[in-house]
Structure formats: structure tokens, C-alpha cells
Amino acid sequence: MLTRILAPACALLLCACAAREVTPVAMAQPGDDALSCEAIHQQIADNSLAEAKYIKKDKAVADANVAKQVAGVIPIAGIAISASTDLSNVEQIQARALADRNERLTQLAKQKGCPT
Amino acid sequence: MINETPRILSKLIACASLLVLAGCASAADPTAMSVSVQATDRPFPQPLQHAMCVRDVTGGEKTNPLWASKVDNEGFKAALNNSLGSTGLAAADDASCHYKIDVNLLGLSQPGMGFDMKVTSHVNYKVYDATGQAFVLETIDAPYTATVGDAFVGVERLKLANEGSIRVSIQMFFDKLRDSKPK
């Protein structure tokens, strides 16, 4: 009886642990060379704002993961809690990608002789 | 009556030790992340041959044995150096390195648990020519799935998925180099 309940529950649990999908911002993008100085500066400002938000979210996810690992010692329920640990690193990946994109845009602005 | 307690206790300790050992995560192996040249591979542009080196790798993470397997900077750098060597791209020394590679490992998207474990590595590759100009800037997302058939123990399966994902990433980077037009 117990096996009949536990087996589908475990299967469900294991299927539900896939990482969240993320597509980071590409460093170099088509049309970069055609960007005006104003557009470059605007993109850098927008990226910096978004990066700061992702860094904040990443810290919250990391804190939640630590709490889930600690709660993992609770019998039975601990397995489910521990399995819900988020190792997808979505926020970290996005933040780092935006930082690299800004590095590329800054270099581009320098090449174009844009005012700082 | 014989006291069974010590025997049972030693069996329990042995089982617990086995569980702990089986459950310890280890870092990705550079050899397993390296790629070698295949007979069907297209050639690299001539200027790149024996003229590349890895300058900097950032973004990697050390593996905590009680957590999950990760890829560290040293491991990635070793894997990329091995791959450059086996494909004839590695420069013999610093003086003959005309194309420097910087790598930023943005992160690994790993599953928390699962039968089939799919890991996607997200890596920025930057290649600079002798004048310091970037001539390849690639963001590469490389998925790889390790199954229960590859490894029964979860932590080992995750390690294999990490290694496979970095291997695919380096292979995709090399494909971009094959398409590049270095001066």
C-alpha cells in the first residue's frame, strides 16, 4: 500500500526538478556596429539596472537554497524540500551576461569616439 | 546470550559511511571535459594554428562535497588547454601566442534531482588578436543530459552532465573558430 503511494510520488518529485531555462544576453549582437552613441549609452544604463535587480534576486535564491538544505534533515518532508533546491542559476547567469554585454558596449562606444 | 549490539552498530556505521561516500560530490574532471580532433572535423583557419592560448578563466565555482558537483576555473582552463593542444591550436609558448582567449563561465543550469539530468553551461568566449582587438565574442549555451545508464548515483550523474556540457561548449566554440576570419 505504502509503496503504491510512494512510487508515483517519488516519480512526480523527480520529474519536477528540472532546471529553469535561461537564455543569457549575447555579448555581441547583430547590428551592434550600427548603434548610435545615444543608443549605446541607453543600453548600458538599462543593462546596469537589470543587472542590479538580478544580483539582488540571486542573493535571495541562494539564501533560500541554504534554508532548503538545512530543512533537508526533516524526515520524509525533508527530501521534498531538499529536492526543490534551485540550482538553475538563472539570475546569476543573466547578471554576468549583462555585465559582459556592457563591457562590449563600452568598448564599442570608445571605438566610435562617443562622449562619456 | 551473545550481545549483538556492537555487531549491529558496526554494520550501521559501515552502511552510513558508504552512503556518505557515495553521496559526496566531486569536481568535474578536466580530461572528461576536453575535446580531441575528429577525422570529420573541418580545418581551422591557418593563422589560428599553433597561435592560441588561454589567458583567463573566470566564473567557475569550487565543488562543495556536501552540495553539488561544479566546474572550477582551473578545471575549465586545463580542459580548454588540453583541447587546444590536441587540435593543433595551442601556441608553443607565450611569445608565439597571437590569439589570447578569455573565458567567463556565466553559470551552470543544473537540476535539483532527477533520473535524466540535463545541465546547460552558459559561457562567454572572448578571443583577442595581437593588437588587442576582440575578433570572436561568443555566448554559447550547451546542454548535455546524463542518464541513469551513465551513472546510477545522482551526484556522479550530475558530474557527468557537467563534464558533457563543458565538452559540448568547447566543441561549439571550436566550430565558431572554424568559421572565423582572423587577420
pLDDT score recorded for residue B6: 66
Q: Can you tell me the mean pLDDT for B167-171?
A: 97
Average per-residue pLDDT in chain B?
Answer: 88
Q: pLDDT grade, residue A29 (50/70/90)?
A: very high
Is position B8 within any domain?
Answer: no
Of the candidates B22, B59, B15, B86, the one whose C-alpha atom is nearest the C-alpha of residue A93 is: B59
pLDDT score recorded for residue A4: 60
pLDDT score recorded for residue B78: 98
A15 to B114: CB separation less than 8 angstroms, yes or no: yes
Distance CA(B149)–CA(B146), nearest Å, equals 8
Is position B37 within any domain?
Answer: yes
Is position B2 within any domain?
Answer: no
Say if CB A87 and CB B68 are below 8 A apart: yes
Distance CA(A91)–CA(B122), nearest Å, equals 12
**Rg (Cα) of chain A, in Å, rounded?**
21
Closest Cβ–Cβ partner in B67, B110, B124 for A100: B124
Chain B positions touching A13 (Cβ under 8 A) are: 113
With DSSP H G I counted as helix, E B as strand and the rest as coil, what are the percentages for chain A, rounded to 5? 70, 0, 30
Closest Cβ–Cβ partner in B112, B122, B134 for A24: B122
CATH assignment at residue B140: 3.40.50.10610
Tell me phi and psi for residue B87, to 5 degrees.
-105, 5
Q: Can you tell me the mean pLDDT for A95-105?
A: 98
Q: Can you tell me the mean pLDDT for A11-29?
A: 77
> Does the structure show a pLDDT above 90 at A80?
no
Per DSSP, helices labelled H in B34-153 are 73-86
Count of structural domains within chain B: 1
Closest Cβ–Cβ partner in B104, B110, B118 for A96: B104
Chain A positions touching B107 (Cβ under 8 A) are: 89, 92-93, 96
B37-71 per-residue burial string, b: 16 or more CB within 10 A, e: under 16 = eeeeeeebeebbeebbbbeebebbbebeeebbbbb
Residue B161 domain boundaries:
24-178
Is position B53 within any domain?
Answer: yes
Q: pLDDT grade, residue B97 (50/70/90)?
A: very high
Chain B positions touching A14 (Cβ under 8 A) are: 113-115
> Does the structure show a pLDDT above 90 at B107?
yes
C-alpha cell at B176: 565558431
B67 touching A, CB under 8 A?
yes
Q: pLDDT tens digit string along B6-45?
A: 666 666 555 444 444 456 888 899 999 999 988 778 999 9
> Does the structure show a pLDDT above 60 at B165?
yes
Chain B positions touching A7 (Cβ under 8 A) are: none
Q: pLDDT grade, residue B91 (50/70/90)?
A: very high
B59 to A96: CB separation less than 8 angstroms, yes or no: yes
Is position B174 within any domain?
Answer: yes
Strongest mean pLDDT among A104-113, B7-16, B105-114:
A104-113
Is position B58 within any domain?
Answer: yes
Chain B positions touching A87 (Cβ under 8 A) are: 68, 108-112
pTM of the predicted protein model: 0.85
pLDDT score recorded for residue A14: 53
pLDDT score recorded for residue A74: 82
**How big is the A-B interface in CB pairs under 8 Å?**
83
pLDDT score recorded for residue B155: 87
Say if CB B104 and CB A24 are below 8 A apart: no
Distance CA(A102)–CA(A53), nearest Å, equals 15
pLDDT score recorded for residue A116: 78
Is position B138 within any domain?
Answer: yes
Mutate to test the interface with B, among A93, A101, A106 (most CBs of B within 10 A): A93
Q: Can you tell me the mean pLDDT for A67-78?
A: 81
